Structure 1
Amino acid sequence: MTTVIPAVTRLSNRIIRILGCNPGPMTLQGTNTYLIGTGTNRILLDTGDKNVKEYQKNLIEVVQSEQVNIEHIVLTHWHHDHIGGVEDIYGPIAKQPNIWKHKRSEDDSKDEPSSFPLSWLCDGQEIKVEGATIKIHHTPGHTTDHIVLTLLEDNVIFSGDCILGEGTAVFEDLYTYMKSLNRILDLKPSVIYPGHGNVVEDPIQKIEYYIAHRNQRETQILETLKNHADKNLTEMDLVKIIYTDTPEHLWPAAAYNVKHHLTKLTKEKKIKQMDVDGESRWQYILSSNL
Structure 2
Amino acid sequence: MISLVLTRFYKKMASVIPAVTKISSRVTRVLGCNPSLMTLQGTNTYIVGTGKRRILIDTGDSDVPQYINHLRSVLKYENIDLAHIFLTHWHHDHVGGLNDIMEDLPEFTENCEVWKFPCKEDNNVYNAFKDNQEFSVEGATLRVLHTPGHTTDHVVLHLLEDNALFSGDCILGEGTAVFEDLFDYMESLRTILNAKPAVIYPGHGNIINNASEKIQFYLNHRLEREQQIMDILSNNCQRTFTGNDLVEMIYIGLPKQLFKAAECNVNHHLQKLLKEDKVVQVNGMWQFKEELIC
The TM-score with structure 1 as length reference comes to 0.93
Q: What residue is the counterpart of 1:287 in the other structure?
A: 291
**Are 2:129 and 1:137 equivalent residues in the alignment?**
no
Question: What amino acid maps onto 2:112 in structure 1?
Answer: P
Aligned with residue 214 of structure 2, among 192, 199, 206: 206
Instruction: State the alpha-carbon separation in 1 of the partners of residues 292 and 215 from structure 2.
Output: 38
Give the superposition deviation at 1:237: 0.7
- Partners in 2 of 1:209 and 1:112 — Cα distance? 32
Q: CA deviation at 1:273?
A: 1.2
CA apart distance, 1:23: 1.0
What residue is the counterpart of 1:112 in the other structure? 122
Which has the bigger relative contact order, CA under 8 A and spacing at least 6? 2
Task: Give CA deviations for 1:67-113 in whole Å, capped at 9, x if unaligned.
Answer: 10011000000000000100101143223310000012xxxxx2433
Tell me the SS of whatever aligns to 2:104: coil
The 5 Å alignment of 1:208-223 reads: 208-223=216-231
Please report how far the alpha carbon of residue 254 of structure 1 lies from its aligned counterpart in structure 2 after TM superposition. Answer: 1.1
Q: Which residue of 94, 97, 101 corresponds with 1:85?
A: 97
Distance in structure 1 (CA, Å) of the matches to 2:244 and 2:68 = 39
User: Within 2, Cα distance between the matches of 1:288 and 1:247?
Assistant: 34
Amino acid at match of 2:200: I
Match of 1:107 in 2: none
Q: Which residue of 2 aligns with 1:122?
A: 130
The count of corresponding residues between Structure 1 and Structure 2 is: 279
1:66 and 2:78 matched: yes
Q: 2:264 and 2:42 mapped to 1: Cα distance?
A: 21
Q: Structure 2 vs 1, CA of residues 72 and 240 (structure 1 numbering), >3 Å: closer, same or farther?
A: same
- Alpha-carbon distance in 2 for matches of 1:127, 1:20: 24
Who is 1:42 aligned against? Answer: 54
Distance 2:34 2:236 in 1: 41
Counterpart check, 1:271 vs 2:245: no
Amino acid at match of 1:20: G
Q: What is the 5 A alignment of 1:87-236?
A: 87-93=99-105, 94-104=109-119, 110-114=120-124, 117-236=125-244
Question: What's the secondary structure of 2:60's corresponding residue?
Answer: coil
- Change in Cα spacing, 1:35 to 1:285, as seen in structure 2 (3 Å) is same
What residue number does 1:52 align with?
Answer: 64
Q: Is the 8 A contact 1:90 1:96 kept in 2?
A: no
Kindly indicate whether the alpha-carbon contact (under 8 Å) linking 2:234 and 2:293 is maintained by their aligned counterparts in 1: no
2:24 partner SS: coil
Deviation at 1:288, TM superposition (A): 6.3
Maintained 8 Å contact 2:117/2:128 = yes
SS at match of 1:183: helix
Which range is displaced more, 166-175 or 21-30? 21-30
Cα shift at 1:256: 1.1
How many angstroms apart in 2 are the aligned matches of 1:72 and 1:186?
27
Give the one of 21, 35, 38 matched to 1:23.
Answer: 35
CA drift of 1:251 comes to 1.9
Task: State the AA in 2 paired with 1:37.
Answer: G
Q: Is the 8 A contact 2:247 2:259 kept in 1?
A: yes
Identical aligned residues as a percent: 52
- Aligned equivalents of 2:129 and 2:177: distance in 1? 23
The alpha carbon displacement at 1:269 in A equals: 1.0
Q: Distance in 2 between matches of 1:288 and 1:262?
A: 16
> Secondary structure of the residue that 2:116 maps to in structure 1?
strand
CA RMSD of aligned residues (A): 1.4
What amino acid does structure 2 have at the position aligned with 1:97? C
Find the aligned partners of 2:64 and 2:243 in 1 and give their Cα distance. Answer: 35
Q: Which residues of structure 1 form unaligned runs of 5+?
A: 105-109
Instruction: Pick which of 248-257 and 197-206 moved more.
Output: 248-257
